A and B are shown apart, each in its own frame.
Chain A
Amino acid sequence: MVAKFELNDDSVVVIIGTGAGGGVLANELAQKGIKVVALEAGGRYLPEDYINDEWDSFGQLAWLDARSTSGDWRVARDFSGLPAWIVKAVGGTTTHWAGASLRFQTHEFKAKTTYSEVQGANLLDWPIDLTEMEPWYEKAETKLGVTRTGDRTGLPGNTNFKVFEAGAKALGYKDVHTGRMAINSAEYDDRMACQQTGFCFQGCKWGAKWSAAYTDIPRGEATGNLEVRERAHVLKIEHDDSGKVTGVLYADKDGNQHLQKARIVCVVGNSIESPRLLLNSASAMFPDGLANSSGQVGRNYMRHMTGSVYAVFDKPVRMWRGTTMAGIIQDEARHDPSRGFVGGYELETLALGLPFMAAFLDPGGWGREFTTALDSYENMAGLWIVGEDMPQESNRITLNPDLKDQYGLPAPNVHFDDHPNDTAMRAHAYKQGMAVYDAVGATRTFPTPPYPSTHNLGTNRMSENARDGVVNKWGQTHDIANLFVSDGSQFTTGAAENPTLTIVALAIRQADHIAREMGAGNI
C-alpha cells in the first residue's frame, strides 16, 4: 500500500531526488519503519517505457533545465548548455547508467596523505576508510547484484570486449575481465538475465540492469512508509530561527507551489542540483546558502578524468551489440607516480550507436577526416577512460545571475578547468588505449574528448573538520543537524572508480545512522 502524507506532517523525512542515492535511502529508511516523502522533479518511467533509440531516450529522460558552463574544458565549447548528462525521472540517472560497480581502493580514501601536496589541488582525506566501508560495500553489491562479487558470475564478453581483451593481453595487461556490473548474468532478485540488447544507456527494457526505478522505489512504496511524489521540483529548503530545517518548498507538475514540512531533509539531486539548492536556499540567517559556513558548497566539482578511444579495423566489430560497458582493464588503476601523475585510471569498454557517435566522436568535427571515421562505424571498437581527477576550489557550481530556470530561479553555472595532473593522466590513458587497439591491428585510432559529465562529484564534500567541507562522515551537514546530503556531492575525492556503488553504500550506511539518531532523539 502506497503511503500518502500530509503537507504539514512534520514527522517525515523528506528526500529530494530519487536516483542512486535518494532511491536507495528512501527504501532503506522505509524498510526500517521511518516515514518518507521523496520529491522527484521527473516523471515515472518503467522498462516498458524505455526506448531503444539514443536521441528519443535522451529526450524522454535527460535533465534539460537551463544550465551554463565556463572554463577550459571542451564541453563548455561544444555543449555549452549541457555540462552534464543526468536524468530527470523517478530512479534518477540509474535509468541511464551502465552498471559498472567498483569499490574504491584503500589509498583513494586517503588522497591527501598518499599523494601529499599537489599544487593547485584542494586534496583532503576522507573521514572514513575502506575497512569501515567494506560491510556497506558488500550490502550494496548484494542489493545491486553486482557480477564477480558474492557468488555471482561475470557477464559473457561481447564483440567489443573480445577486441579489447585481445589487445589488452597482447599489451601484457593482466587484470582484464567483463567487469563488476550491476547487470544480471543469471536471474537474480526477481530480475532476468541480460539479453545483450545493447541499450544499457537508454534504460534496460528487460530489467536486467539494476535501477532504483523498478527495485528500491517500488519496494519502499510497498512498505506503506514511502510516498514518492513525482514531478515535484524542490525550489528551496526552509529553516526556523534556531537554524534547523523545517521543510521544503516545491512546485508540482502544474507549477503550483507547496510547502512540505519535515523532521529531516536529505538533499540527493546529484552534484549540480544539490549545491545549487543549498545556495538558492540562502536566507538572512545563512546569507551564503545553507550549510555553507566553510564556503565549500559548490566547490571542488569533480567529473572524473575521462575520455574515450575508438579504433577502426579492417573487419567488422559491431560493438553496439551486447552490453554497453561490460569490460575492464584495471592495471592502470594503481597509484604509481612514476607515470607522471598521481592516482590512476580504469579502461572500460564503451559502445555508442551511430547517432551518438556522430555527436560525440569529435564534437564540431566535419569533412572527410570526420566522415571516413563514421564510414567505418561497423568496424569500430571503443573504450572509455575513467580516472581520478583533482579537486580544485575554483571548479565549482555557482548561481548564474543572468540565466533563470523555468521557475525563475538562478540556473547553475558549472565551471571546470583541467588540473595539470588530469591532463597528464589523460595523455597517458589515450596512449595506452590506442596501444590496446594497435596491438590487434587497428588501422586508425581516435582519442575522443570527454562527453558532458556523467559522473558529478564533490560539491558538498565530506570532511573531518567543519572548516574543510560541508558534511561529516555520515553525510550530515556540519552546520545543520537535521540536514543531510546523500549523493556523490559528498565525495571528498573522486577515486578512479565509477561512483555509484559508493553512493549506494554510503546511502545504506546513512539510513542506518539516521534511524539510530532518530531513535536516540538526537534529530
Chain B
Amino acid sequence: MTVQTMRQGMTRRQLLSRTVATGATFVIGSGFIAGLDAAWAMETTALKPESMATLIQMARDIYPHDHVADEFYAIAVKGYDTAEAAPDIEAGIAALDAAARGKGHASYLDTGWERDRADILRAMEDSAFFQRIRGGLVTGLYNQKAVWPLFGYEGESYSQGGYIDRGFDDINWL
C-alpha cells in the first residue's frame, strides 16, 4: 500500500501518475481518502486521513481476503471516525507506527511485507486497541451484505421460497 498526501483538486489521472501503484488506498489532501482505482472515496472528519489509511491496512492485515476490495475494509472501520473514538484510535495508530519504527520501518504503512506487519500486530495482540479493532471487524466486515457474495454466501432465502426447488441437496461430487 502506498499513501501520499495530495493537494486537493487533482484529477484522477494526476493522482494516478503521482502514485506508485503498489497499493490500493491513498490519502488525498485534507480529510479525504480514496481507492487508487477511484472506485470509492471517503471523507474523514475526526481522524487524520493517514490514520484512516493505516486503519484500513490494519483491518486487511487482521482479516486478509485477497478477493475483498479495500472499500469493504474502509466501510468496516469508518465508524471510528468520530470525535469520541478518535483520541484512542490516533493513540493506537501512533503505537502501531512506533512499533513499526522499532523494526526499522518508516511507519506501519511503509512496512512492505504482510508478514512483517502481521508480526507487529501479533506483538500487540492483547492490547485493548487491537482487540477493539479486531472485534469490531467480525461484524463490521463479515456482516456487510455486499461482502457475502464474494464468499458465495447467499443470505436471505425466504423471499425466494427457500431452497426446496433451488438446490438444497445439489451436490454431485460425492
**Which residues of A pack against B, CB within 8 Å?**
52-53, 55, 156-159, 161-163, 166, 194-199, 205-206, 313, 315-318, 320-323, 353-355, 357-359, 364, 366-368, 370-371, 374-375, 377-378, 440
Contact = CB atoms under 8 A, between A and B. Distances in A.
Contacts of B156: 52-53
Given A159-B168, A321-B167, A368-B64, A378 B139 contact: no
Given A53-B155, A198-B163, A366-B134, 15 more contacts: A159-B168, A159-B169, A162-B171, A166-B174, A194-B164, A198-B168, A199-B158, A206-B158, A317-B171, A321-B163, A353-B155, A354-B148, A357-B142, A374-B151, A375-B65
Most buried by A among B141, B147, B162: B162
Q: 4 tightest CB-CB pairs across the interface, nearest first? A: A378-B152, A195-B162, A197-B162, A322-B168
Interface string B137-167: 0110111000110011111111001111011
A166 B157 CA distance: 27
Question: What band does the interface of chain B fall in when counting residues whose beta carbon is under 8 Å from A?
Answer: 35 or more
Contacts of A205: 158
25 contacts: A52-B155, A52-B157, A55-B143, A158-B163, A158-B169, A159-B169, A194-B164, A195-B164, A196-B162, A196-B168, A321-B167, A321-B168, A353-B155, A354-B142, A354-B147, A354-B151, A355-B142, A357-B142, A359-B139, A366-B62, A366-B121, A367-B118, A367-B122, A370-B63, A375-B151
A387 B30 CA distance: 59
Contacts of B153: 320, 353-354, 377-378
Given A159-B169, A162-B174, A375-B67, A320 B158 contact: no
A52 B141 CA distance: 19
B65 A371 contact: yes
B64 A371 contact: yes
A322 B171 contact: no
B113 interface: no
Contacts of A163: 171, 174
A380 to B, nearest CB: 10
Contacts, number: 116
Which applies to chain A's interface (DSSP): helix, strand, loop or mixed?
Answer: loop
Contact of A378 (B61, B151, B173): B151
Contacts of B62: 366-367
A197 B157 contact: yes
B169 A156 contact: yes
Given A197-B163, A355-B139, A318 B169 contact: no
Contact of B158 (A158, A197, A322, A366): A197
A478 B156 CA distance: 48
Nearest to B159: A52
B84 interface: no
A88 B168 CA distance: 31
A486 to B, nearest CB: 33
Contacts of A206: 158, 162
B152 A377 contact: yes
A198 B174 contact: no
Nearest to B154: A320
A52 B168 contact: no
Contacts of B168: 156, 158-159, 196, 198, 321-323
B124 to A, nearest CB: 12
